[in-house]
Amino acid sequence: MKRKAIIHISENADTLNKIMSIFENRLDEIKLYPNHFLEIKTDEEASGYEEIMSLIVKEKWRHTFHEEREYSKQEMKAAKYFHIGVAYPWEHDPMKDAEYYGTTYEYLKSKSCNCNKVQVSKLQLDVKKLGKWKNMAHIRPEYIITEYTKLLIENNELSGCEIREAIDYKGRELHPVFQLVVTNIVPPMQEVVRIEPYSHMEAHCESCSSKGFLRSELIYRKEELEKFKDFNFTFEYWDAYHIRQPIVSAKVRELFTKHKVRVFRYEPVRFI
């Protein structure tokens, strides 16, 4: 696997000029912008990578970190499980989630975290929005499939999920859609997973261990493999909308690829 780091540092001009002078020829790309902003793009094997990361921690520079990972064909073939990205056709209307379209939820405890939120009605959505992603899509926090995908899952007896009826929020007679309910929750990830903590949260939820933004691949212990099924959710809630991340087996990847059920990312899950 090749790892490429993308680091943004926001500090005063003197600090940024100093960083430029030290690392200009030791990192793949480093660019200084006029608004006190430095961008670094570099292979993590570059000679200056470990040093710049150590300085960021030591000097407490304001920064963001993102990592791009490239896997070989052999690594993809050998992987047993994959973290997937599922299309969100409502990305330009982020407030239009399942609840917006009339899906009803109840809260078991505090309303401050999605882990206490339980769906108590059929999933409702704007079916016309599915478009080119019609075989599988995501409407926060639920997952939608068509009858084509439903039959594929049922005929191959894929585990770790249930399928429920979903309806168009206007009651229009359009192509049938279903809700894919992932029922298998895997154990907490290993501490070596890189995380950018939520800056706006003073305390994490005790029920779900809400973390922050993922900045590495998902990592688990090898002994936990037996707890994984074909469809899985992470124990933790992640990223901007505090939702669990989906993980699928190599069997699911093979079936979905063969039968053209589109997702936009398969990233191998690492077991150590």
Q: pLDDT (tens digit, 9 = 90+) per residue, 116-142?
A: 889 999 999 999 988 766 699 999 999
Q: Write down the pLDDT at residue 239.
A: 83
Question: What's the token pair of residue 134?
Answer: 């019609």
pLDDT tier at 204, thresholds 50, 70, 90: low
Contacts of 237 (CB under 8 A, 6+ apart): 113, 114, 115, 205, 208, 209, 210, 211, 243, 244
Give the tens place of pLDDT for each residue, 160-197: 999 999 999 999 988 899 999 999 999 999 989 998 87
Q: Which long-range contacts (CB under 8 A, 24 or more apart) does 167-173 make?
A: 167/122, 167/123, 167/124, 168/124, 168/125, 168/126, 168/127, 168/128, 169/101, 169/102, 169/124, 169/125, 169/126, 170/126, 172/127, 172/128
Rounded distance, CA 86 to CA 135, Å? 11
| Mean pLDDT of the region 51-56 | 97
Q: With the CA atoms of 71, 74, 75 and 81 taken in that order, what torsion angle do they form, in degrees rounded to the nearest 10?
A: 120
Determine the pLDDT at residue 206. Answer: 67
| Structure confidence at residue 169 (pLDDT) | 96
Last residue of a domain, which of 41, 70, 99? Answer: 70
Instruction: Say yes or no: 42 and 94 in one domain.
Output: no
Chosen domain end from 14, 43, 70: 70
CATH of the domain at 37: 3.30.70.920
Alpha carbons 78 and 58: distance in angstroms, whole number = 38
Taking CB atoms within 8 Å and a gap of at least 24, the contacts of 47-51 are: 48/22, 48/23, 49/5, 51/23, 51/26
Residue partners of 3: CB distance under 8 A and separation at least 6 = 43, 44, 45, 67, 68, 69
pLDDT of residue 202: 45
pLDDT tens, 253-267?
999 999 999 998 999
The full length of the chain comes to 272
Checking if the pLDDT of 66 tops 90, the result is yes
pLDDT at 203 over 60: no
Please tell me the predicted confidence (pLDDT) of residue 41.
97
Last-in-domain residue among 49, 70, 91:
70
Looking at the fold, whether 54 and 94 belong to one and the same domain comes out as: no
Let me know whether 162 and 51 are in one domain. Answer: no
**Is the pLDDT at 33 greater than 70, yes or no?**
yes
177-182/117-119 β-pairing: unpaired
Residue 115's pLDDT band (boundaries 50, 70, 90)? confident
Asked if pLDDT for residue 57 goes beyond 50, the answer is yes
pLDDT of 110 higher than 90: no
β-sheet bridge partners, residue 234: none
Verify that 140 and 261 share a domain, yes or no: yes
* Shared-domain flag, residues 34 and 117: no
- Residues 152 and 200 both lie in one domain: yes
Q: What is the pLDDT of residues 222-243, one digit of tens each?
A: 999 999 999 999 999 888 778 8
Same domain for 265 and 152? yes
Token readout for 189 is 């990830």
One domain, residues 219 and 167: yes
Q: Are 89 and 130 in contact (CB under 8 A)?
A: yes
What is the pLDDT, as a whole number, of residue 234? 95
| Domain match, 141 and 42 both | no
Let me know if 142 is exposed, middle or buried by CB neighbors in 10 A (0-12, 13-18, 19+).
buried
Total domain count for the chain? Answer: 2
129: left (phi over 0), alpha (psi -120 to 50) or beta: alpha
- The 3-state DSSP class for residue 138 equals strand
In this structure, the answer to whether residues 178 and 145 fall within a common structural domain is yes
d(CA 47, CA 127): 51
169 and 34 part of one domain:
no
Q: pTM for the whole thing?
A: 0.90
Q: What percent of the chain stands above pLDDT 90?
A: 76
Top-confidence residue, 88 or 143 = 143
Give the pLDDT mean for 54-65: 95
Nearest-angstrom CA–CA distance, 151 and 185: 23
Residue 52's domain comprises 2-70
Same domain, 212 and 268: yes
